[in-house]
Each structure stands twice: as structure tokens, then as C-alpha cells.
Amino acid sequence: MIKHYLKLIWNRKRTSKWIVAEFALSFLAVCGAMTAFFHFYQLYQIPLGFEYRDKWQIRFQMPSQGSEAQIKELFRIRDDLEGFGPIQSVSVMQMLPFMNSTWSSTTTYNGKDVNAVHNFMDDKAQAILGIQLLEGRWFGPQDDGSDEYPVVIDSLLKEQLFPDGNALGQLISDPDDSMLKRVVGVMPRFRQHGELAVCRPYVIVRADPNKEAPLPSRNLVLKMDGSQTPEFEATLAKKLEAMAPSWNFNISNWIDQRENHLKPTLIPLYIMGIIISFMLLMVGLGLLGVLWQNVLQRVQEIGLRQAIGASKVDVLKQIAWEMVIKTGLGIAIGMVLALQVPLLAPLPVIRTVWVAAFVGSALVLVLLTLLCSSYPAFLASRIEPALALKDE
């Protein structure tokens, strides 16, 4: 049966080939959009690893190389702010989430190198950020005075550095052995760049006022009790100006930070979605027109088929099948072209996302075809054999 339809399509190859081409192109466009959509959807499903509500941040701009006195000063401000107004507790953090800077460095264990994002946090950060540990413990006073840097690593780094062993208590380092780091805990993924960023291996090093750090911490995270008002910011700014008169600083809350950070990813996605839907609408309407014309041209043929005993369902089936085959051909060509992308360019997209995007866009196109061919097929099935054949 399909062979017969293929023959019919082949006989009309002059018009058919452009419909197939249109489907191949539409497939490419829809598949691209769906890949992006599924990619970000999948990332959005992974927990953030920390709690961002009711958090404020203070970024200090202080003289370039952080001297020891500066770090001590930062810790002093941290302690002084605790309990001020709606502030519940305060913690020191080197790299803030939802910002565009990353500090990454190579981490070595047993000859294996993994590039991991690094951050410095103090002893209170776990409670403030709501980090749930999988194993081990967070930093504490028991880490004082050690030459090593205690670190908490995330499960991704654990999988890559210690595929079959226990991470707790192991010493990890960097290629030139300048910083020896002792793993004291393992946490789930920590997503510094928000829900739409790809997960990267993560290391949190203890921020210690008595110890030198390659990059000094300059930020505070404030956990608020929920009663804070935007006006409190001005009060806080006044207090900070009195506490640290020589530093510039910047206060913002994490809900705004997160929103602003997601925007540059979300806005292009929305625009792409709108453009692709309009394109699909255009393709669908065009298809409807082509099929309509097609039925009008084939009145005699269809009339003849009905005259020799084809039922209305047979006619409907013929129109739908011919269309589905053309769609299938177009999708197949589009798929071959689209497959080149994951094969040739290493995009940070996992395989399930590709498969979902391929299947999803094929489904969308087949549905579109069926929807658009239903009216012309209905027209065709209404053709009266006697009327259609009277001119022959």
C-alpha cells in the first residue's frame, strides 16, 4: 500500500520535492528550538543546592590585594551585623551566586585532573544557605590551625575524582601543589550560576580569617527573618558607611539577582519560541493551501476511485497517507542534517535531550500535517463521482 502511495508522490515529484524540503527545514527549526527548550527544562529540574529566598548580599569593593587586616575587618563586620534589624545571621562568601564571575581551578587526586569551580565560605554558610550534606560535616572550629584547607566537594566532583572510593578524609590538590585540600564533606550539586546553567564540579573551601587565600573574600550573605522591607536597605547602607568608611559596597537581594541572571537566557528563548510558533502556523497554512489546491486538481482521479468502489474512508486515508509519507521523508532528511550537530559539535547537551527533541519535533510535524490535511481530505471525500466524471 505504502509503495503505491510512494509511486503517486513520485509521479508528482515536481511539487512533492518542495513540500519535502519545507518539512526538512521545519524539522531543523523545530528541533533546534526543542533542543534548547528541553535542555533548559532538564537543567531547571536539578535542585539549586541552596536556598535563595530571604537572602541579601553585600559586595564590597576594597583595595586590590586583600591584606590580612582587610579580611579580619570583613569578619568583624560580619559579626557586628548579626541581629541588626531583620538580619538573622551573616556569612562570608567569596563568589556570590547569580553573578557572571567564576573562579575555577584544576583539582588533582591520584594523578587525575578535574577542572572544578571553587568558592570560599565560612563556618556559618551551611546553615545560612541551607546546604544539605550527603556525607561528612561542614567546617568548624576544629579546622583551626591546620595547614591544610578543609573543603566540601559536590557529588559531581566526587564521581569524577573518586569513582569507586570514599572521598571523605582524602587530600586533593592542584597541579603545582600550592594548596592542599582535605575533603571533610560531600554535598549535592551546588549551582552557583542558577537553575539554567550547566552543572560543574564544585569545591567549597573554608574561609578562614587567619589563613591566606589566593583570592580574598569580599562579600557577605545576610539571612533575613522575612520581615525585611526595601527601606531597611537605606538603614543598612548608613550603618555600613559608618562601619567601613573606606570601602565601596553594593547591597542587593537574591530574588532580584536570580531574576536578572536568568533573564539573558530566558528572553532569547521566549523570542525563539514566538518566532518558531509563527513559522509553524505559516507552514501549516501554506500546507493547507497546497493540499486544497491538490484536491481540486485531482477531482477526476478521486471521483473515478469512488466510482469503482472506494469508500469515503479510503479517500480520506489516501490523502492523509500521502501527506504523512511526505512529512516522514522531510523529517528523515531533516534528522540526517540535524544529527550532524551532536556528532560534529560538542554542545553541552545530554543525549536524552537530543532524543526528546528529535522525537518531539517529529511528533509536532506529523500532528501539524494531520491537522492541515484533514480539511482538504474532508473536501475530497465529499466529491460526488457523477459530478466529477461528467466532463470526461
Under the rule (CB under 8 A), what is the footprint of another protein? 14-15, 18-19, 21-22, 25-26, 29, 61-64, 230, 233-234, 237, 241, 245-251, 267, 275, 278-279, 281-283, 285-290, 292-294, 296-297, 299, 391
State which residue, 282 or 355, has the beta carbon closest to another protein.
282
Closest CA to 180 of 193, 169, 190: 169
State which residue, 135 or 174, has the beta carbon closest to another protein.
174
Widest pairwise Cα distance in the chain? 103
- Cα 52 to Cα 253: distance, rounded to the nearest angstrom: 9
In the complex, the smallest distance separating the C-beta of residue 319 from another protein, rounded to whole angstroms, is 14
Set of cell numbers at residue 159 = 564521581
In the complex, the smallest distance separating the C-beta of residue 329 from another protein, rounded to whole angstroms, is 15
In the complex, the smallest distance separating the C-beta of residue 297 from another protein, rounded to whole angstroms, is 5
- Cα 327 to Cα 369: distance, rounded to the nearest angstrom: 7
In the complex, the smallest distance separating the C-beta of residue 22 from another protein, rounded to whole angstroms, is 5
In the complex, the smallest distance separating the C-beta of residue 16 from another protein, rounded to whole angstroms, is 10
State the burial class of residue 299 (Cβ atoms within 10 Å of its Cβ: 0-12, 13-18, 19+). middle
State which residue, 126 or 217, has the beta carbon closest to another protein.
217
State which residue, 79 or 391, has the beta carbon closest to another protein.
391
Residues 6 or more apart in contact with residue 151 via CB below 8 angstroms: 172, 181, 182, 183, 184, 203, 204, 205, 206
How many Cα atoms sit within 13 Å of 267 on the Cβ side?
6
Q: Which H/E stretch holds residue 131?
A: none
Cβ atoms within 10 Å, residue 43:
20
Phi-psi region of 111 (alpha: psi -120 to 50; beta: other; left: phi over 0): left
Residues 6 or more apart in contact with residue 122 via CB below 8 angstroms: 75, 78, 91, 92, 93, 139, 206, 207, 208
Set of cell numbers at residue 199 = 552543572
- The type of residue at 263 is K
Chain position carrying cell 527548550: 37
State which residue, 146 or 250, has the beta carbon closest to another protein.
250
Measured N-to-C along each axis, helices 13-45 and 351-381 cross at an angle, to the nearest 10 degrees, of: 140
Q: Is the separation of the CB atoms in 218 and 57 below 8 Å?
A: no
In the complex, the smallest distance separating the C-beta of residue 18 from another protein, rounded to whole angstroms, is 5
DSSP-derived pairing of the beta strands 112-121 and 135-136: unpaired
In the complex, the smallest distance separating the C-beta of residue 233 from another protein, rounded to whole angstroms, is 5
State which residue, 138 or 249, has the beta carbon closest to another protein.
249
State which residue, 198 or 267, has the beta carbon closest to another protein.
267
State which residue, 350 or 389, has the beta carbon closest to another protein.
389
In the complex, the smallest distance separating the C-beta of residue 163 from another protein, rounded to whole angstroms, is 27
In the complex, the smallest distance separating the C-beta of residue 167 from another protein, rounded to whole angstroms, is 27
State which residue, 144 or 212, has the beta carbon closest to another protein.
212
State which residue, 164 or 391, has the beta carbon closest to another protein.
391
In the complex, the smallest distance separating the C-beta of residue 178 from another protein, rounded to whole angstroms, is 12
Cβ atoms within 10 Å, residue 30:
26
